[in-house]
Amino acid sequence: MPVFDKKDKSRYTAFTRRTLGVGGGMSLVFAVLAGRLYQLQIRDGEEYLTASEDNRVSQRPIAPPRGRILDRFGAEMATNRRNYRVMIVAEQAKQGVRQALDQIGKVIQLSDLQKKKILADVAKNKKFVPVPVVENLSWEEFSRINLHLPYLPGVQPDVGETRDYPFGKEMVHVLGYVASVSQDDLKDDTDPLLDLPGYRIGKRGIEKAFDREVRGQAGDSRVEVNAYGRIVRELGKNAGEPGQDVWLTIDCELQRFADQRLGEESAACVVMDVDTGHVLSLSSTPGFDPNWFNVGLSGPQWRDLTTSDYKPLLNKVMGGTYPPGSTFKPAVALAAVEAGIATPDFRVNCNGVYNFGGHAFHCWQRKGHGALDIEGALKNSCDVFFYETSRRLGIDKIEAAARLLGLGAPTGIELPGERSGLIPSRAWKQKTYNWAWQQGDTISIAIGQGYVTATPLQLCQMAARVASGKQVSARMVHSVGDKVMDLAAAPHLPVSDEALAVVRAGMDKVCNEPGGTSFAWRINEPGFEMAGKTGTAQVRVYSKEERARGLTNNANLAWKLRDHALFIGYAPVNNPKYAIVCMIEHGATPPHPHCQMARDILLFAQKRDTVGRPTAYPVKSAAIRGTTRGAQNETSGKEPG
């Protein structure tokens, strides 16, 4: 009998085919799995290992200490201080975040608006992430929180670092301030530091101009996290690179004195070294406390800043443009001497009015000054003299002299937001108004009215150039970190010594000869005398009716209708070292407060040199660093400044 019959043989064949099919399928499956394993573990193993490590290990940026800003003697103008703050962790607040905030509000003040913002921040983050509740607490408030901590589950006291401005409003227009990062900031800056919650960057002043240098380089913390992003442990930490210190040319004591002397006037004052252009003081009043923007600005504070007629947010020194008034006359005088018009025997007779082209151009002195030469015209600020002189000169020579003295263009100071002012020309008027230049335009320009405008900083630079005979430019930054901002020595002005001597002599007589417009407010102390030029800039046109009945004294007018008051000068007369400008918006009143302020500030600056002081820009030792990281008027003159 055969081992297999025919029927069994067919079954065996069918079984074998199934076995081979299943076996082949299984082999194919295992081959695919093996190939996939090869791909995952061998070919792409390193890539997936890195991805796995990235999921397990999180690298988080750390903000380094922000660099300091110091004055020329090492005084800290902007530094860092401890920031006592309170955080809340939602998952640990057993009674709920809202109830926890109510409990915190019983210990320290917490408004409903603050609570609403905190709840929104908690909702945006994971429950184990600490969310700031309140920052910049006083030590007393921080102590109270710590005392009640056992009854505040989920609340964590924390000590961080924040920006601090010890001089407050006295330095705000120099330093600026730091504030939270905006969406516009993120468009132009990819620094990972900007993504940190609560990180602040420079918004104005030196803080903004040198933000990247002062900011430093981000550090990082490598932490192990679980699948939910919770930190398991810290694997490593790099503190980053602290920001660089910025050394300014500012003298804090002089700046403080100038700011206090200006008081609450809407005013600007600059003191400059006539040989180097170094700005020693830059004051714009009224100011505001830059710490407000760091710790949080209230609604009433913001309304006061934005609605005040005195414009505390505006840096008037370089962001405000004004008709220079009679402070422009030294530029016209320089051009007249250089052109050979104002010779020693050149005289103009002033009877109080200058008639030209059917218009009457008035002098501030209604009865006139009589016959004057160039020095006498500067001393008395005679408008008629400069009307006639400018007619003979023409706008082209006046424009050239003004630009040579630094007007009509930014000074190049390191602060952002500087305006250029305006020195008009024939081409400018044709382009702007599609109208040819007229001689009447030149006559108005001669006394600093009409189209011409300038910033107080430009006027101070002009005074420095007249005093030194050099093309100095305003500068405020001495060094950043270890890098000194080397500046080439200023070249001499391409004008004759004779022309400069005449202008200086006239400015000397303004202050130091009886009859000069600032003689009553001169410096009396021998060796400290100042030279200068007063100026009054009209903000409205005087009508014929007003002139007929007599102009109203500025002191009796509404504040906004008063003329601006300006003074430019330098001291000491015989060996100039300091130049100054003092401008008071709507401040042209008989006591001449601008002249008094300039006198006091120049005297203070000079006497600073006679007392023992530390060397400027001392070696940056550990001891010094410490441990904390206008209206246009073409037909009327004005009274003197």
373 pLDDT higher than 80:
yes
Amino acid type, 317: V
Question: Is 495 domain-assigned?
Answer: yes
Most confident of 156-160, 187-191, 419-423, 547-551: 419-423
Residues 6+ apart with CB under 8 A from 281: 250, 251, 254, 255, 258, 269, 270, 271, 601, 605
Mean pLDDT for 464-486 is 95
Count Cα atoms within 13 angstroms, Cβ side, for 303. Answer: 3
Measured N-to-C along each axis, helices 383-393 and 329-338 cross at an angle, to the nearest 10 degrees, of 50
Question: Is 186 domain-assigned?
Answer: yes
Per-position b or e across 247-285, b if 16+ CB within 10 A of its CB? bbbbbbbbbebbbebbeebbbbbbbbbbebbbbbbbbbb
Length of the chain: 641
Interior CA angle at 82 toward 79 and 85, to 5°? Answer: 135
Mean pLDDT for 329-336 is 98
With CA atoms as reference, report the closest residue to 595 among 546, 522, 524: 522
Residues 6+ apart with CB under 8 A from 103: 151, 152
516 pLDDT higher than 60:
yes
Residue matched to tokens 């401005």: 165
Query: What pLDDT does 61 receive?
Result: 72
What distances in angstroms separate CA 234 from CA 16, 222, 238, one per listed residue? 61, 6, 11
Tell me how many domains the chain contains. Answer: 2
Mean pLDDT for 86-99 is 85
Mean pLDDT for 428-432 is 97
Query: What pLDDT does 149 receive?
Result: 85
Question: Is 534 domain-assigned?
Answer: yes
341 pLDDT higher than 80:
yes
Q: Which residues have a catalytic role annotated?
A: 326
Query: What pLDDT does 30 receive?
Result: 79
DSSP symbol at 277 = -
On whether both 90 and 168 belong to a single domain, the answer is yes
Beta bridge partners of 137: 84
Query: What pLDDT does 36 receive?
Result: 73
Rounded to a whole number of angstroms, the distance between the first and last alpha carbons of the chain is 141
On whether both 91 and 186 belong to a single domain, the answer is yes
486 pLDDT higher than 60:
yes
Question: Is 559 domain-assigned?
Answer: yes
Query: What pLDDT does 444 receive?
Result: 95
With CA atoms as reference, report the closest residue to 468 among 405, 420, 417, 516: 405
Mean pLDDT for 595-612 is 90
Question: Is 614 domain-assigned?
Answer: no
DSSP codes joined into one string, 339-361: TT-S-TT--EEE-SEEEETTEEE
CA dihedral sign of residues 446, 447, 450, 456: positive
Burial environment of residue 360 by CB neighbours within 10 A (0 to 12, 13 to 18, 19 or more): middle
On whether both 199 and 273 belong to a single domain, the answer is no
Q: What is the CATH number of the domain that holds 119?
A: 3.90.1310.10
What gap in Å lies between CA 366 and CA 352, rounded to an integer? 5
| pTM listed for this prediction | 0.83
Amino acid type, 396: D
548: confidence class by pLDDT, cuts 50, 70, 90: low
On whether both 544 and 462 belong to a single domain, the answer is yes
1 pLDDT higher than 60:
no
308 pLDDT higher than 60:
yes
Which region among 219-233, 516-530, 534-548 has the lowest average model confidence (pLDDT)?
Answer: 219-233
639 pLDDT higher than 50:
no
Query: What integer best gives the mean pLDDT of the chain?
Result: 86
On whether both 237 and 260 belong to a single domain, the answer is no
503: confidence class by pLDDT, cuts 50, 70, 90: very high
On whether both 244 and 348 belong to a single domain, the answer is no
On whether both 405 and 451 belong to a single domain, the answer is yes
On whether both 413 and 278 belong to a single domain, the answer is yes
Query: Which residue would you say has higher pLDDT here, 180 or 37?
Result: 180
70 pLDDT higher than 50:
yes
Q: What is the CATH number of the domain that holds 338?
A: 3.40.710.10
Give the domain-ending residue among 195, 229, 248: 248
Question: Is 121 domain-assigned?
Answer: yes
Which region among 320-334, 370-384, 597-611 has the lowest average model confidence (pLDDT)?
Answer: 597-611
Give 262-303 pLDDT, tens digit per residue: 999 999 999 999 999 999 999 999 999 998 887 777 788 889
626 pLDDT higher than 50:
no
What gap in Å lies between CA 186 and CA 468, rounded to an integer? 45
641: confidence class by pLDDT, cuts 50, 70, 90: very low
Beta bridge partners of 349: 371
On whether both 439 and 534 belong to a single domain, the answer is yes
What gap in Å lies between CA 490 and CA 275, rounded to an integer? 8
Query: What pLDDT does 230 receive?
Result: 54
Query: What pLDDT does 8 receive?
Result: 61
Q: How many CB atoms lie within 10 A of CB 203?
A: 19
On whether both 281 and 234 belong to a single domain, the answer is no
375 pLDDT higher than 50:
yes
Per-position b or e across 422-448, b if 16+ CB within 10 A of its CB? bbbbeebbeeeeeeebeebbbbbbbbb
DSSP codes joined into one string, 574-628: SS--EEEEEEETT---TT-HHHHHHHHHHHHHHHHTTS--PPSS----HHHH-S-
On whether both 231 and 267 belong to a single domain, the answer is no
Residue pair 641/587 in contact by the 8 Å Cβ criterion: no
604: confidence class by pLDDT, cuts 50, 70, 90: very high
Give 21-42 pLDDT, tens digit per residue: 777 777 777 777 777 777 767 7
Mean pLDDT for 611-625 is 60
Residue pair 351/343 in contact by the 8 Å Cβ criterion: no
* Domain range for 181: 60-248
On whether both 282 and 144 belong to a single domain, the answer is no
Query: What pLDDT does 298 receive?
Result: 76
